[in-house]
């Protein structure tokens, strides 16, 4: 069905408001069609099941103190998405290459941190925000331009840490780590974990939590002690706070053995019927693995070429039939011209593709790579 208007968290949105053919807008139809799907609000969907399991942990350990939001509108201002969480003016995440802009002041949120400031201002001190987030990116089995995050935020007052003898920041950092280690155990059972120091503009210190899974360390979330400036600007003068943001798909792929991120979007009953409300332990049984088909495309790039732009073109044509776009050759000749060769893997999650169908897709890719990206095919 072609949707042309929808309501998101109480906000009415028409397609023309979000997708426009002008250079200040880079939202394609494929992304518009994802707005309002709200996979995280379906109790039978792996993402909804995971969200509920995390809620359960917080309800049990903090006697229902965390306020929960899962219906906030994903269209937010540049101020909410970036300025309010202290993202520097020249940070790459603000670029049109990385973020979907509706217009110069409005974006599809690229993280749930976009809601921190407004919720603080409204007086919330313990909250969880779950929602769909949007990022332009390359294509493989773990990256999709729409995914889901849960933000956690907890504010402390002086009384909370004074007795401990520690300073506020150290106290919050320790509480945060304990909370998230407990969450990881609630979801995964006894797992090996480690903390990695990292950087986020909105927290200091900042950490990543990794868990050891299938012989690999896997990053599951980012977190840290909230920058004082954010608290100060939003009416919290004598407080400290922690925040975390976790990617639901990443965790769900591990917990449910889901091999490809596109499966979250399928309506194929052989996928959807395998999950039920409240059942975190279920392992997905692949119904069949259809064969992939690889096609290469080579061209001379120009100064404005980016892999994200290429991937947007490919997704616009092949949709969820594209599994991976991989740079397999890259060289610069004596004249200074640079050539890239990309290998595109086409594979359906639901059926076998015919040669004809794939050839047609690849033909369109070749045409549009040339017409939309202004590169020269080789």
Query: In the bound complex, what is the minimum distance in angstroms from residue 32's beta carbon to ligand PHE?
Result: 22
Nearer to ligand PHE, 27 or 220 (CB): 220
Q: Using an 8 Å Cβ cutoff, are 133 and 112 in contact?
A: yes
**Residue 192: exposed, middle, or buried by beta-carbon count in 10 A (0-12, 13-18, 19+)?**
exposed
Least distance to ligand PHE, CB of residue 374, Å: 32
Return the number of the residue (95 or 359) whose C-beta is nearest ligand PHE. Answer: 95
Minimum Å gap between C-beta 18 and ligand PHE is 22
Minimum Å distance from CB 207 to ligand PHE?
A: 8
**Closest of 155, 176, 161 to residue 67, by C-alpha:** 155
H or E segment at 173? helix 168-188
Closest alpha carbon to 133 in 159, 152, 151, 154: 151
Kindly list the residues in this chain that would bind ligand PHE in the complex (CB under 6 A): 111, 113, 151, 200, 202-203, 222-224, 243-245
Instruction: Output the smallest distance, CB 313 to ligand PHE, in A.
Output: 25
Q: In whole angstroms, how close is the CB of 99 to ligand PHE at the nearest point?
A: 12
> How far is the C-alpha of 368 from the C-alpha of 365, rounded, in Å?
5
**Closer residue to ligand PHE (CB): 28 or 201:** 201
Comparison of 151 and 320: residue with beta carbon closer to ligand PHE: 151
Length of the chain equals 378
Closest CA to 244 of 376, 104, 366, 66: 66
- Residues near 273 by Cβ (< 8 Å), separated by ≥ 6? none
Report whether 140 contacts 80 (CB < 8 A). no
Question: Quick one: 198 or 272, whose CB is closer to ligand PHE?
Answer: 198
62 versus 290: smaller Cβ distance to ligand PHE: 62
Q: Which is nearer to ligand PHE, 48 or 222 (CB)?
A: 222
Least distance to ligand PHE, CB of residue 253, Å: 17
Q: In this structure, what token pair is assigned to residue 347?
A: 């594979």
Query: Residue 66 to residues 48, 114, 123: CA-CA distances in angstroms?
Result: 18, 18, 12
Which residue is nearest to ligand PHE, using beta carbons?
245
């Amino acid at each position: 069905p072609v949707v042309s208007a929808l309501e998101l968290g109480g906000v009415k949105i028409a397609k023309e408001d979000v997708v426009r053919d002008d250079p200040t807008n880079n939202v394609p139809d494929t992304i518009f069609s994802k707005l309002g799907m709200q996979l995280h609000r379906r109790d039978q969907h792996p993402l909804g099941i995971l969200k509920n399991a995390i809620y359960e942990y917080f309800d049990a350990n903090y006697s229902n103190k965390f306020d929960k939001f899962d219906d906030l509108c994903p269209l937010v201002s540049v101020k909410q998405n970036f300025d309010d969480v202290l993202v520097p003016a020249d940070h790459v995440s603000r670029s049109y290459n990385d973020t979907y802009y509706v217009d110069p002041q409005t974006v599809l949120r690229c993280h749930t941190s976009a809601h921190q400031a407004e919720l603080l201002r409204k007086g919330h001190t313990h909250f969880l925000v779950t929602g769909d987030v949007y990022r332009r990116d390359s294509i493989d089995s773990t990256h999709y331009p729409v995914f889901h995050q849960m933000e956690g935020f907890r504010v402390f007052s002086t009384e909370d840490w004074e007795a401990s003898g520690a300073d506020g920041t150290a106290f919050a950092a320790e509480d945060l780590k304990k909370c998230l280690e407990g969450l990881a155990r609630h979801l995964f059972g006894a797992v090996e974990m480690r903390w990695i120091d990292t950087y986020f503009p909105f927290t200091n210190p900042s950490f990543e939590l990794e868990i050891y899974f299938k012989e690999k360390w896997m990053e599951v979330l980012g977190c840290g002690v909230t920058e004082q400036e954010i608290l100060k600007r939003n009416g919290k003068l004598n407080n400290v706070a922690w925040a975390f943001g976790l990617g639901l798909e990443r965790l769900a792929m591990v917990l449910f053995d889901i091999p490809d991120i596109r499966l979250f979007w399928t309506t194929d009953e052989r996928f959807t019927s395998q999950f039920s409300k409240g059942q975190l332990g279920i392992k997905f049984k692949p119904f069949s693995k259809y064969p992939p088909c690889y096609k290469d495309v080579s061209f001379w790039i120009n100064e404005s070429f980016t892999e994200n732009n290429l991937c947007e073109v490919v997704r616009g044509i092949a949709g969820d039939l594209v599994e991976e776009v991989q740079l397999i050759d890259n060289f610069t000749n004596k004249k200074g011209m640079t050539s890239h060769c990309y290998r595109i893997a086409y594979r359906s999650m639901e059926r076998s593709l015919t040669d004809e169908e794939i050839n047609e897709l690849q033909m369109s890719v070749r045409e549009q790579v040339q017409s939309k990206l202004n590169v020269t095919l080789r």
